Every structure is written in structure tokens, then in C-alpha cells.
Amino acid sequence: MLPFHQKIAFLLFAAVTLALGFHGFYRLYLRIRRGTTDPEPRFNKLPRRFLYALITTLTQQRTFKKRPTVGLFHSFIFYGFVFYGLVNLVDAAEGFLPASSGDISFSSNVPGLTHAFLYTYITVLAAYSFLADLLSFLVLLGVVALVIRRFALPSRTDFRFNPRTLLHKDVQHQKITRDSLIVSAFILFHVGSRAIGAGAKIASEGPDPLQPFATLLSHLFTPANAEAFRIFGYWGALGSVLAFLAYFPYTKHIHIFMAPAKYLVAREPTSGVLPLAALNLDAENETEDEANAKTIGAAKLEDLAWPRLLDAYACIQCNRCQDVCPATATGKSLSPAALEINKRMELNDLAAQQSPFAFTSAPFEAGKPSLRPLLQFALSPEAAWACTTCGACMEVCPTQDEQMLDIIDIRRNQVMIEGEFPSQLQSAFRGMERAQNPWGINHEQRLAWADGLNVKTTDENPTPDVLYWVGCAASYDPQAQKAARAFVELLTHAEVNFAVLGKKECCTGDSARRAGNEYLYRQLADKNVSTLNTVQPKLIVASCPHCMNSIGHEYKQIGGDYKVMHHTEYLETLVATKKLTATPSAATITYHDPCYLGRHNGVYEPPRNLLNILSNSTPELPRHRENSFCCGAGGAQFWKEEEEGDERISDNRFREVQQTLFPAAGEKILAVGCPFCKSMLGSTPTKADSEDIAIKDVAELLLEGVRRSKGLTTPVTQSEPAATPVTQSIPEPAPTSLVAAAVAETPRKEDVSAPHTPAPPSIDRKKWQPKSVSPAQPTQSITTQTLPAPAAPAAEVSSTPSTPERKKWQPKAATPVQPEPGNVQASTVEILPIEPPTPTAPAPTITPPPEAPTPERKKWQPKSATPASASEPVPTVSTETATPPVSTDVPARKKWSPKKPS
């Protein structure tokens, strides 16, 4: 028990520090509530939420993921502090009560106490003493181990950032290191003082076998100085906690309270579902100033939803999200960890405008706007456009932070309000707006991929058992068409009653939404929902995970609730019910998990079950399932050039494929379940060193197995032409389809003046045959997007095709560079919807563009998502063999204003 004067001093000290601490927590609450109202429910189903938060917190299951050893040491500290809440209360009581917690002699003099009660009391006391002693040791062990890891072991590199990453000035001034040292010193002093006090008590009262650690420390003291060290331990343990309260809301250690709070308000939707942005699509009388005054997305801290301000304080600064980020792994400027840390540093700086001892709020806490935009301190504009929306950061975060959603909100503000976005996305936006697909190819060609197949539309078959959602990729990209045609043939083998929407189908808007163009997404999504609600499909099967995710999850936000599955899931059911039987091959097959199929939607087993039937050798890639590495196409990256970095994301992934398949003998196959993964991994420069590795969709492989089982001969296809190392490969033309008329093929230099008559369109669908490889043409780099070239007449196909030489990809320079001869500047290419060629139509004119600087960007106005008119003119794609000049002037970007719907 403390002397009387120390009791008074302790009570006064506790009153002041508790007041400062509680006021600091209240100010922390004020900062978090400055965020906007979240469009998603965060406090529904409270009993279930409380249970989830309690279990997740106490089991530390998310902390053990990825880093089990580190998680173990962290659990020592966590469980120690959880139990230390009780220990501190008991220790505080010991300073004021005449009987200590270890003295039970008083109980024998209390009438009415039974032996059972005494036994229970002694048991509880013994358990308390043992746990307090054990956890004191474990906390000290955990802190020392983590300090050594952070500052002495090679793993200290986990806490470093890419030189390109934008860091808050406080991070640059080593505030993270300083804060880590302060917190570590506090824990060591607090727990160490308590252990010293316990050891001094044992030195004066005798050894206690239930407190081995304190007994070991008791040998440091003598009966003469034991009382003095006991009082020192009391003040050191409890006084340090009280003194730390004023600093506590500003430290990284605040996550011990904020992480459970984040679990309590965790999102219910999967990471593949973006929150719905508030858009007034019917505001016909709204003036332009009123429209511009509205905040769409996030420009400043207070524009973010309040749970994502909570993220900044829940973050434990472990950098696990940075470890799994494809952009960070390839040397780009984006770091999800830096984003959260920068947010916290800025929030703390805003709070520091008012002294914590003043007991008043800072201007930001009182409702004043923050001083700086997010793109000045949280992340750079370049980093905001480097995100592939793969969701790996959200999946791996121990506290379930939502870094990806911050980036989406920033993109929304940049596109919808500021009109600032990569120029290559302009063509994708226009394509989706005018032709209802990001390729910009005439919507009338939506069903051309099915030439020669018995594919019925919902007009011809109104009540199908399966509605096959083809998607834009399979409609216009020849490589994706192979998977679609294979899937249709499998449905035919299984005698499934299916249909497609045909020309009623349009882009789901996934790329527009991930690029921040919520307005364009809603136009496309509303049209699809209206169509699907009319058709009322029993089951929708999609071969594109992006389409599956949008239709199956995101369309529920706007009134479209459908049963949707991936084609690998449906094919697995056909195999399981014996409607399809496949014979395995001797090939070695490894599988790449698409982000939007696996991580965002949890589909891992169906494609693997199919591949296990098709081959006896199916090695896993080192990064697979929820740890899978992105191909680099998500987040609208497919339609733009990658940001500056050390390598391409697709190269990083394909090297892993090479290492996995290298020991295999015979046929080597990389299986995919997404058309964008197939295109990215098939066109990446590293693929040039592994021509023996074929990339096929799971449906293509299953069809080969079904054909083998039926004794059918699989057609031998020609080797695919080498891909030009740009954002995506220029796909080969769709055989016998009208898609070939989209863009004129780049002519050879000596044939520029030669007339070219396009082949007349075929009215009747013909049987599809793989097209032989055409002669290599001069490379045409279109960084805005790549388009299929027209099918050359049969007479013009060379009998000795050659493969164009692949060039090694180099990181994009920070300053404009001169393109190679024959390249077309991205800013000079505009994709327009076109009409199909007629037998009498003249060939498109090929004229070299004038040498002129990059034109000024004009305001982009979205139009209603209606089918492209067949009467619109055919675009002319100009090319030039001489190197055109590149202007170093940055074109002035204008604010984007959505056009009022008609």
C-alpha cells in the first residue's frame, strides 16, 4: 500500500492524465467523423458484427496470415496488453487497499465463506498470478524480438519504400522510426517496472512458485531495498500508462483500439464490389456550376468516407499491403502502405494545430476544410493510376483497411470533376460511350465471333436454361474468341439449352468504373440491367471474371439481382454430372488465378478440378489462390500504358510461370480463366523467351479433352504471331467476321499507294477455321489501345509467314521520347464506331499525319449508351514511316462535365 501523500499525488496525477487522454481520444473521434457518410451500412446486424470483431481480435487470425513468426511475437504483446488491463486495475487497488491481492488470510475471518468459495478464490488468484507473470515475460520477449527485426535484421527492408513513392514530410523526417522507438520504450518500461515491483514484493514476502519470472528477478533485491523498488515498480508501471495516455492517440499503438473498431464496421461486400457513388443522372435543370460544385470521389481527406479515415489509425504500419502490391513489386510509385501512413501523418498534423493541453479542438476537427489535396501528400497522381484493383492489399491487411477504395475515390474525382486522367483512357471511354465496348468497334459486330456456330439469341430462344454472357473481349478479341467458341462447343456437346443476348449485350462498364468514370458505368450498367430484367435469365454464365463480378455483385446496387457463375464453375458441374467426359493429356499444366475470379470472388477449386482431370501434372505457381499475383490488366490498366517502373507486371508474373514449368518435359501449358489475363501474359515481352509455353483458357483445354474422349481430331492451329510489346498485344483478326473492317492494317512502306479492296461481308455464317499466320507487318504501336487488323484476302496471304522480332521492354522515361519509325502517337488516334464494309465501298485512305505538336485535349462529354449507328463513317487510321516530332508541351486538360441524358 502507498503512503498517504503518494496516494494523494497519484490521484491528482491520474486525474490530469486521464482528462488529457480522454480529450485526446475525443479529438481523434472528431477527426474520423469529418469523413463523409459511407454509402454502405456499417452498423447493421450489430450482434453478428460484435461477435466477428471479438473473435477476430482475440484469435489474431489476420495477424498470423503471411507472417506467422512475426504474428506470434505480436500476439505476445497483444495478449499481454489485453490481460494487463486487469493487471493494472488490481495493481492500482493494491496501492490503496490494506490487503494485497496475494494475502488471503482475511478470508478466514469472514463469516459465511464456505470451503468451496475459498478453493475457488485461491484457484483464481493462483491463475491470475501465473498469467500476469508469464505474460510479463512474453510481452518483453515480443517487444525485444520485434525491435531487433525492425532495426537489425535483413527484414528491416520491409519497412522501406520505393524511391518513387510520395512520402509525407513526417515520414521523410523519420517520424515512423521515432514513434516506434517511443512506443517500444514505453512498453519495455511499463511491463519492466511491473516485473520489478513483483520481484521486489517476492524478495520481501518470500518466493512464489506460480511467478517464476518475478521469482528470478527477486534475486536482484534485498529485504532492505525491496520496499523502495516495489514502490518504484508501482509508479513506473501505472504512472507510465497514465502519462502515455496524452500521447497515445497520436502513436501507431492506437491500433490496439482502432483495429477492433475496424472489425466492428468492416465492409460486408467483397473487395470486388465498389461502393456506389451518388450521381444525379436525372438532373436536367441543374446548372453547370451546380454540377461542378458537387464533390464526386475524393479530393481531400474529408471527402473520404469516415471508415477510411479510421483506416489511417487502424493501420499497424506492417507494410504487408506493400509486399503484395503488383505496382510496388515492379518498382512503380504506388505503395498502399504509404497511402495509409501519409493519411495518418496529415491527420496528426491537422490535430497539432491545437495544443493537446488546451482542451479545445483544432480547426479541422471543428469543421474547417483540410489544407492540402490528397494528391499532394497521400499519393502522387502517377501512383493513383498505377493501381490494378487486384484487391491484394485489402485481402492481406491485418486490420481490413480499404486502400483500394481510396484510390478509386481519387480516380472518380480526377475523371468526373477535374478531367485529369491518362490520355490513353480517352479512347476506351469514347468506345464504351459510342459503340458500347472499349475497343470502339461497331456494336453491330457483337455476334460476329459466332460465325459458323449454332448460337441462338434470346429472340430466337426466349427461355434458355443458360444465358451465356459473352463479354466485350470474346466479342472482339480473336484470342478471347477461341475460349468463347470452345465454351459454346462444350455446351453443344453437353446438349445444354443456352442462348446469348447478341446485339442486346453491351459492355458491363467494369473498366469505366475502375477508371473512375462512374457516370459512364451507370449508363452501361443501367442499360444491361434493363435488358436482363426483361429477359429474366435463370442462370447467367460468363467467361470473363470482370463481367461475372459486375453482373453478379455490383448490379445488385442498381436493381439487378441475378444468379451468375463463371464458365469454369458451370463446366465443372457438366463434368460432375457426366454430361462431358474428357481424356487427359501428357501436358504439364499450371494455372494462373485471375484476381477477379479468385481473390474478389473466391472461385479457386472449379478450374483446378477440371485441370486435374485433363492432366496428371498440374504444379502450382508459387503465388496462387488468394496470394496470386496480378497479370496487370485490372483497374482499366489494359487500356493504358503502365506507369514508370522497373518492369512490367505481366513480365513479373510470367517469369514465375517459366520457373514453374521449366523442369517439365513435353508440352507446357499455362491455363487461364480470364481473357485479359490471356492477352496480358501472352503479349508480355518475357513470353518471347518461352515459345514452348502455350497459354490457353480452361475451356479450350477441356474441349481438347472432350474431343480426345470422342475420338475427334483436334484441329492443328498455326502458331500465334508474336505480340508487339505494348500495353496489350494487337490481336489477330477474327476469322470470317466483320470485325476485320474496324481498322486498316498497317501497309508495308512500298505498298502505301497500292489500292486495297476489302472483302465483301458474308451474310450467312460460315464454318470457322483458324486463320494462318499472315506475313509480319511493320510494327504499329498504339499505346491508347490496340485494335484487330482486317483479315487480308486469301490471295494476299504469304505462304512463308515470318514472325516480327520482339523488342525488350524498357521502363517509360520521365521525359517524352521520340517514337520508332512507323509508330502512331497515342494522342493522334481516335477510335470511332464504324459501319461494316460493303462490296462497293472504297478502301480506307491511308495518309501520313501532318507534323504537328500534340493537340490540346478537349472536354469529354458522355453520350447516352445507345448502339452505334451503322451510318457513321469508317475511321481512317493514319500511319507514317518517318518519325513524327513529339511535342514536349503538356496539353492543357479541361474539366469534364457529364452531358445531360436525353
Q: What was the pLDDT predicted at 729?
A: 36
Q: Which residue has the cell 508440352?
A: 667
How far lies 358's CA from each of 16, 18, 20, 361, in Å? 13, 14, 9, 8
Eight-class DSSP state of 42 = S
CA distance 67 to 757: 63
Q: What is the pLDDT of residue 551?
A: 97
pLDDT digits (tens, 9 = 90+) for 221-233: 888 888 899 999 9
Q: What is the pLDDT of residue 769?
A: 40
> Of 483, 602, 479, 482, which is closest to residue 549 (Cα–Cα)?
602
Which of residues 225, 245, 265 is at a domain's end?
245
> Residue 849 in contact with residue 772, Cβ under 8 Å?
no
Q: Judge whether residue 870 has pLDDT over 70.
A: no
Q: What is the pLDDT of residue 287?
A: 55
pLDDT given for residue 121 in this prediction = 77
Give the residues across from 498 on adjacent strands: 466
Q: Mean pLDDT across the stretch 839-858? A: 40
What would the DSSP string read from start to end of 632-687?
S-TTTGGGSPPPSSSS-HHHHHHHHHHHHHTT--S-EEEEES-HHHHHHHHHSGGG
Is 589 inside a domain boundary? yes
Percentage of the chain modeled with pLDDT above 90: 61
Residues in contact with 213: Cβ distance below 8 Å, sequence separation at least 6, in sequence order: 133, 134, 136, 137, 195
Kindly state whether residue 631 falls inside one of the protein's structural domains: yes
Comparing C-alpha atoms, which of 668, 676, 821, 805 is closest to residue 748?
821
Flag whether pLDDT at 819 surpasses 50.
no
User: Distances in Å between the alpha carbon of 572 and those of 134, 147, 390, 546, 699?
Assistant: 52, 50, 25, 20, 10
Residue 239 lies in a domain: yes
Contacts of 713 (CB under 8 A, 6+ apart): 707
Containing domain of residue 500, as a range? 425-720
- Whether residue 293 is predicted with pLDDT greater than 70 in this model: the reply is no
**Stretch 145-166: mean pLDDT:** 87
Rounded-to-integer distance, Cα 505 and Cα 472, Å: 9
Are the C-beta atoms of 683 and 725 separated by less than 8 Å? yes
**279 assigned to some structural domain:** no
Residue type, 554: E
Cα–Cα dist 389/325, whole Å: 10
Find residue 615's DSSP bridge partners. Answer: 585
- 798-802: long-range contacts, CB 8 A cutoff, minimum separation 24: 798/774, 800/775, 801/718, 801/721, 801/772, 801/773, 801/774, 801/775, 801/776, 802/775, 802/776
Q: For the ranges 107-116, 520-529, 870-879, which has the lowest average pLDDT?
A: 870-879
Whole-number pLDDT of residue 101: 43
- Whole-structure pTM value: 0.77
274 grid coordinates: 465498389
Work out the average pLDDT over 464-474. Answer: 96
Confidence grade of residue 715 (pLDDT, cut at 50, 70, 90): low
Q: Taking 60 as the threshold, does the pLDDT of residue 645 lie above it?
A: yes
Answer yes or no: are the C-beta atoms of 535 and 573 closer than 8 Å: no
| Integer CA distances (angstroms), 337 to 264, 283, 307, 388, 741, in order | 22, 39, 16, 16, 47
Among 16-25, 276-285, 496-505, 825-834, which stretch is predicted with the lowest mean pLDDT? 825-834
Residue 294: pLDDT band by 50, 70, 90 thresholds? Answer: low
The residues near 702 (Cβ < 8 Å, ≥ 6 apart) are 486, 490, 571, 575, 580, 582, 610, 614
Is pLDDT at 898 greater than 80 in this prediction?
Answer: no
Residue 860 included in any domain: no
- Secondary structure letter of residue 820 according to DSSP: P
Beta partners for residue 694, in sequence order: 669
What is the C-alpha separation between 684 and 695, in angstroms, rounded?
Answer: 12
In this prediction, residue 899 carries a pLDDT of 45
Residue 840 pLDDT > 70: no
DSSP codes joined into one string, 218-236: HTT--TTTHHHHHHHHHII
Angle between helices 255-264 and 306-314 (to 10 degrees): 140
- Mean pLDDT (the chain, rounded): 80
Whether residue 479 is contained in a domain is answered as yes
Which span out of 241-255, 331-345, 743-757, 802-816 was modeled with the highest average pLDDT? Answer: 331-345
Residue 494 placed within a domain: yes
Q: How far is the C-alpha of 333 from the C-alpha of 441, rounded, in Å?
A: 34
What pLDDT shows up at residue 141?
Answer: 95
- pLDDT surpassing 70 at residue 787: no
Chain position carrying cell 520481501 = 204
At 739 the pLDDT is 32
Give the residue from 342, 328, 462, 445 showing the smallest Cα distance to 396: 328
User: Residue 152 — very low, low, confident or very high, per pLDDT cuts 50/70/90?
Assistant: confident
Burial string for 841-860 (b: 16+ CB within 10 Å, else e) reads: eeebebeeeeeeebeebeeb
C-alpha cell of 384? Answer: 493513383
Q: Could you tell me which residues come within 8 angstroms of residue 463 by beta carbon, excluding any fewer than 6 positions away?
A: none
- Relative orientation angle of helices 518-535 and 545-552, to the nearest 10 degrees: 80
Model confidence band, residue 835 (pLDDT cutoffs 50, 70, 90): very low
Per-residue confidence (pLDDT) for residue 109, from 0 to 100: 53
pLDDT tens-digit series, residues 62-110: 998 888 898 899 999 999 989 998 999 998 888 888 654 444 444 445 5
Q: Which of 227, 245, 263 is the last residue of a domain?
A: 245
Q: Residue 137 pLDDT more than 60? A: yes
Residue that is last in its domain, among 691, 720, 749: 720
Residue 94: predicted pLDDT: 86
Give CA–CA dist 310/262, Å, rounded.
Answer: 7
Q: How many domains does the chain have?
A: 2
Cα of 598 vs its chain's centroid, Å: 12
The answer to whether residue 867 sits within a structural domain is no
Residue 404 is given by DSSP the state: H
Tell me the three state secondary structure of residue 513.
helix
Q: What is the CA radius of gyration of the chain?
A: 33
- For residue 438, the Cα-to-chain-centroid distance in whole angstroms is 21
Q: Are 852 and 815 in contact (CB under 8 A)?
A: no
Rounded alpha-carbon distances, angstroms, from residue 447 to 15, 501, 504: 76, 9, 10
Q: Which residues are registered as beta bridge partners of 502?
A: none
In 3D space, the residue among 383, 46, 333, 9 whose CA is nearest the CA of residue 164 turns out to be: 333
DSSP helix/strand/coil, 797: coil
